[in-house]
Structure 1
Amino acid sequence: MMNLAKLICALLLLAFCENTFAQADDHWESYIASYEKGLGITLLNMSLKEKAPVKDQGFVLITGVTFSDCKDGLPTPEMVETLQSIDDALARQVSFLGKTTFAGSWTHNCERLLYFYLQDSMDVRFSLQTFYKDNYPAFKHYINIRHDPEWEGYLKFLYPNEIILEQLNVSKVLLQLAEAGDKRDKERPVDYSFFFPDGKNRSTFIEQMKQEGFRVADQPKKVASKDRPGLVTISKPALPDASTISGMIIYLRKKAAGLGGEYKGWETVPVKN
């Protein structure tokens, strides 16, 4: 579990990144994940998922600096302001290279790397080497330019996998509960809803879930009715933890899919006493 100091540091870092690069029509998300050498923070423009890959931007530039003021691989609060300044200057420098798209960033192991997609790679390395030498000679810099027409750097590395994506969605709901005064250390029923076009498969799913300790919270009598087509809601007590709930959603989704079912959502209520 991340301690409070590291969490505050991570949130500070993400806050300035969004202010620096966000556009009005962008949808930015950030997440923290564990890697071989420790925790890493990823910030990315989720809106690019619908556009990627952009055909005339087939080169990815991965560049940034190594910073010394770090704790457990993440920047100290004192380092955040300096990194912001470097990011701003770096973004301006890259903008001189032609049409570019900032896709996201990764901060890990005392290194901060920004991902840009470019039209071509001509003169990019020389331009950035000069930039770092003239402006930030005290920092070790990193420059990697490669042909990436399928945008794998964004789609396969920056973009969250199924588990993390579900955790992001669950975390938003849990944040709303916390703002409503929820007691995070209290178990409460957590409901998961599914749609089955076939009544027999729905019954099979229900029986399987009962054997795993779930109860049926809602089961319309008519399958594929106009108002409530083949729905079933199962419930089981759990702590309001993003990892626990998202993991359960992924598990149940796969179980339901094996019987032709479709996951429709989850819900719970705040516990204030």
Structure 2
Amino acid sequence: MYRSIITGILFLLPFFGFSQADWISYVKKEKKGIMAVSVDLELDLNKPKLHNVLIVGTRVKGCYKNGFPNEEGIKYSDVFSDSVAFRLNKITKNRKVGMISYQCLIFDVFYVKDTLGIRKEMDTLLSKNYPHYPKYVVISKDKKWDYYYQKLFPPVYTEDFIYDQEILYKLVSAGDDLSTERNVKHWTYFKNEKRRNSFVSKIKKLDFKVDSLNIKKDLAYPYEVQIYRKEKIYPRSIESVTALLNFMVKADNGLYDGWGAEMIVKE
């Protein structure tokens, strides 16, 4: 079974319950664990004339051990985001551009027109509604939108990146920190048995094992081989593995059709 080709607007994963047509969510490894980022890609081509970045954050009430909000935390985050946006809309013209979740902390990122009075309003809001949690309010001049491009915008957004991130995001959002080694299975297809055998002989030298060999006569690439190897699935590591397998499969005129892995959540 070939994986579905992703077309149109990248991949649309709701982040903290938020979903708009041009937003994407992805994860990346930082020093203390996995960070989840959501960003509005439309602004890459259509930026409003707002030259100040505002970051408002707090500690989330309810999160997994990997630092990502659990069901209770997502509800809490939604209320937090709504209250910040409601107050901000009364103060100045603004545009929400992204969200970050890291180590049980959540941050909403805006670009705003005027900064006068914003810090006082945000401090008041957070002190009143979230008195028992740390509050973060950062305001900075940013005419070139450096924060948007350096901290929020994805490093690439190819089809392979989107596919990898869809799987990783689902695992992280369920509590997986991606650090535990597990069997990672890959699907590959070839036009004939000779090409498939050639590929198998090469990947065995890289410690991959064959899970199954099948022939699916209704496919253009009927000779399937499923392979697996035990490894961690941090974003950069899995991206390197899939890039390598893509290259090796194409060398034998085959088709690489993606990967999958079991979910592991630490108690």
Q: Same fold (TM over 0.5)?
A: yes
- The answer for the alignment partner of 1:232 in structure 2 is none
The size of the alignment, in residue pairs, is: 197
TM-score for both structures, normalised by structure 2: 0.59
Q: 109, 127, 136: which one pairs with 1:115?
A: 109
Instruction: Give the deviation of 1:133 after TM superposition.
Output: 2.2
The answer (yes or no) to whether the contact 2:56–2:108 under 8 Å persists in 1 is yes
Q: Deviations over 1:71-116 (max 9, x none)?
A: 3322232222122111111111111122111001000011100100
- The answer for the alignment partner of 1:127 in structure 2 is 121
Q: 8, 15, 35: which one pairs with 1:40?
A: 35
Q: Deviations over 1:47-91 (max 9, x none)?
A: 111124x4x200000011113533332223222212211111111
Q: CA RMSD for the aligned pairs? A: 4.2
The answer (yes or no) to whether the contact 1:12–1:77 under 8 Å persists in 2 is no
Q: 23, 46, 49: which one pairs with 1:51?
A: 46
The answer (yes or no) to whether the contact 2:61–2:76 under 8 Å persists in 1 is no
TM-score for both structures, normalised by structure 1: 0.58
Q: Deviations over 1:118-177 (max 9, x none)?
A: 112111101111112232222221000000111111111111113888421455699xxx
Inter-CA distance 50–71: structure 2 relative to 1 (3 Å threshold): same
Amino acid at match of 2:115: S
- The answer for the alignment partner of 1:268 in structure 2 is 257
- The answer for the alignment partner of 1:195 in structure 2 is none
Provide the C-alpha distance between the structure 2 equivalents of 1:66 and 1:42, rounded to a whole number of angstroms: 16
Q: 60, 67, 84: which one pairs with 1:67?
A: 60
- The answer for the alignment partner of 2:25 in structure 1 is 30
Provide the C-alpha distance between the structure 2 equivalents of 1:171 and 1:119, rounded to a whole number of angstroms: 33
- The answer for the alignment partner of 1:160 in structure 2 is 154
Q: 87, 104, 113: which one pairs with 2:81?
A: 87
- The answer for the alignment partner of 1:189 in structure 2 is 188
The answer (yes or no) to whether the contact 1:60–1:153 under 8 Å persists in 2 is yes
Amino acid at match of 1:110: C
The answer (yes or no) to whether the contact 1:45–1:103 under 8 Å persists in 2 is yes
- The answer for the alignment partner of 2:15 in structure 1 is 14
> Does the alignment pair 1:247 with 2:240?
yes
Structure ID, larger Rg: 1
Which is worse superposed, 62-71 or 240-249? Answer: 240-249
Structure richer in helix, relative to its length: 1
Inter-CA distance 98–165: structure 2 relative to 1 (3 Å threshold): farther
For the residue of structure 2 that corresponds to 1:156, the secondary structure is helix
- The answer for the alignment partner of 2:93 in structure 1 is 99
Which is worse superposed, 158-167 or 40-49? Answer: 158-167
* Unpaired stretches in structure 2, ≥5 consecutive residues: 1-11, 169-182, 191-198, 204-224, 248-254, 260-267
Which is worse superposed, 66-75 or 36-45? Answer: 66-75
The answer (yes or no) to whether the contact 1:74–1:108 under 8 Å persists in 2 is yes
Amino acid at match of 1:64: G
Amino acid at match of 1:40: M
The answer (yes or no) to whether the contact 2:14–2:25 under 8 Å persists in 1 is no
Q: Deviations over 1:1-27 (max 9, x none)?
A: xxxxxxxxxx99725122xxx3xxx41
Amino acid at match of 1:268: D
Amino acid at match of 1:14: F
Provide the C-alpha distance between the structure 2 equivalents of 1:161 and 1:87, rounded to a whole number of angstroms: 26
| Higher RCO structure, 1 or 2 (CA under 8 Å, sep 6+) | 2
For the residue of structure 2 that corresponds to 1:134, the secondary structure is helix
Inter-CA distance 39–123: structure 2 relative to 1 (3 Å threshold): same
Percentage of matched positions with identical amino acids: 21
